[in-house]
Structure 1
Amino acid sequence: MTTRLHTTRSSYDTVAGDYAALFSGELARPLEMAVLAEFARRVRAGGGGPVGDLGCGPGRMTVHLEALGLDVFGIDLSPGMIEVARATHPHLSFSVGTMAGLDLADGSLAGALVWYSTVHTPIEELPPLFAEFRRVLAPGGHLLIGFKAGAEPVRRLEHAYGHAVDMDVYSVPPEHVAERVAEAGLVEVARLVREAEMTEYGLERTAQGFVLARKPAAP
């Protein structure tokens, strides 16, 4: 495991309980909810199947996807986050893992949700992740990725959720994400950018981006 992954995992292990408590009543903004609903609709329309919430954290989106009718499980880098997810949603399956090397068979997923899970990954390290997403998707399967949209290259986090942490946060231009999707052999279905909004925690620092893509169906 790289130093970056190790420090990110340790940071999320530290904040897991407080992070889950802070966001227990918040899921997503209305536009995001619509994007998630469309992702779920497309997965169901394609016949359904297993869906991975990759970088699931405490499982907020995992249980939401279940409510949308999907057969979903969660994977996260942080054992602390997985412990919280299992305690909060004991009827769902959660496991520790890394998006750079998913312990999943080729073509095993009908859908993959990557909900702000790449925000700690430098832009130059994104291509292998997208190749891994494509590998685990079945032909016709869908990928939905949410990310911080912008040109600010990196923001250093040394304190978050009431704790000292050691993480970098990356914003990525939406067109860059679309390029990585195409390079991985996925087909872009839709792209949405929502401008920063005021939330109960203050004004968001960046716009928010979402790309929905699919793996081409087998010939």
Structure 2
Amino acid sequence: MEGSAEEVRRAYDAISADYAAAFPTTEPEAAVDLAMVEHLVVLLEASGGTHVLDAGCGTGRMARHLSDRGCTVTGVDLSPGMLAMARRDHPDLDVREASLLALPFGDDAFDGVLLWYSLIHLTGDELPVALTEVTRVVRPGGLVLTGFQVGDGPSDVGARLRTRGHDVTLVRHERRTETVGDALTAAGLVEQARLVRGPVGAEQQPQAFILARRPA
């Protein structure tokens, strides 16, 4: 059960309107999740640069959150449908269609990168490619924050979507925190903070957040 970029694109195109309606802002996030985002913003402010790439921005809800906190945000996503919702609901935000495997930006372009549950559809072979791209586009001294579900291997989240009327295939790759931490290190980043919490509400897996810095 690997999944493909085209399957991911089709799935998110199909659910984009429902997703935007269900989660217009930060409804899915626990307070402690947002505290990690706040920690990112505070560190960026202290470093003198707050240009953030929201890599896998979806409908733009986290980009909006960062923008409201004073960051200059550029978003990218694989799904035209999700981007259409982002442009509809947040017309002031800069969002573009792009793959995490080939980011359309120059080296050292951003002060920070947010990977908010956007690595979860990448295979084991794709993960290091994406993190190498992220390391390339964040400046020396810049920060990278990733959030993800903790688990072991792929799961078919498309099954739940199909019960809601969406005929899609969507694979989520759940990983141990050590696996993601090691991948960040292998990409040239240095871990700064790690948070793991148990499931809340309808969640079935623990959730993890790792903040890393590109060495200056």
TM-score, normalisation: structure 1:
0.92
Supply the distance in 2 between the matched residues of 1:3 and 1:194 (Cα, whole angstroms).
27
Question: How far 1:42 sits from its partner (Å)?
Answer: 0.9
State the Cα deviation string for residues 150-187 of structure 1 (Å, max 9, x = none).
22x11112341541211101110001111011111111
Question: How far 1:136 sits from its partner (Å)?
Answer: 0.3
Of 166, 174, 179, 1:176 maps to 179
Of 198, 206, 211, 1:195 maps to 198
What amino acid sits opposite 1:172 in the alignment? Answer: R
Deviates more, 1:157-166 or 1:129-138: 157-166
TM-score, normalisation: structure 2:
0.94
Q: Secondary structure at the match of 1:72?
A: strand
Supply the distance in 2 between the matched residues of 1:179 and 1:3 (Cα, whole angstroms).
23
**Alignment of 1:19 onto 2:19:** yes
Supply the distance in 2 between the matched residues of 1:8 and 1:85 (Cα, whole angstroms).
17
Supply the distance in 1 between the matched residues of 2:48 and 2:70 (Cα, whole angstroms).
12
Supply the distance in 2 between the matched residues of 1:124 and 1:173 (Cα, whole angstroms).
16
What amino acid sits opposite 2:194 in the alignment? Answer: R
What amino acid sits opposite 1:102 in the alignment? Answer: L
For residue 62 of structure 2, what is the aligned residue in structure 1?
Answer: 61
Q: Secondary structure at the match of 1:166?
A: coil
Contact in 2 for aligned 1:190/1:211 (Cα 8 Å):
yes
Supply the distance in 1 between the matched residues of 2:3 and 2:148 (Cα, whole angstroms).
22
**Structure 1 gap ranges (5+):** none
Q: 1:163 to 1:120 in 2, by over 3 A?
A: same
**Structure 2 gap ranges (5+):** none
Question: How far 1:49 sits from its partner (Å)?
Answer: 3.9
More strand by share: 1
Question: How far 1:124 sits from its partner (Å)?
Answer: 3.5
Question: How far 1:3 sits from its partner (Å)?
Answer: 7.1
Supply the distance in 1 between the matched residues of 2:34 and 2:160 (Cα, whole angstroms).
29
Question: How far 1:7 sits from its partner (Å)?
Answer: 1.0
Question: How far 1:211 sits from its partner (Å)?
Answer: 0.4
Supply the distance in 2 between the matched residues of 1:125 and 1:102 (Cα, whole angstroms).
13
Supply the distance in 1 between the matched residues of 2:110 and 2:17 (Cα, whole angstroms).
29
Question: How far 1:125 sits from its partner (Å)?
Answer: 2.4
Question: How far 1:27 sits from its partner (Å)?
Answer: 4.8
RMSD over aligned Cα, in angstroms?
A: 1.5
For residue 45 of structure 2, what is the aligned residue in structure 1?
Answer: 44
For residue 10 of structure 1, what is the aligned residue in structure 2?
Answer: 10
State the Cα deviation string for residues 40-96 of structure 1 (Å, max 9, x = none).
111111111421100000000000001111111211000011111001001111110
Supply the distance in 2 between the matched residues of 1:27 and 1:58 (Cα, whole angstroms).
14
Contact in 2 for aligned 1:159/1:165 (Cα 8 Å):
no
Supply the distance in 1 between the matched residues of 2:117 and 2:184 (Cα, whole angstroms).
15
| Runs of 4+ with >3 A deviation | none
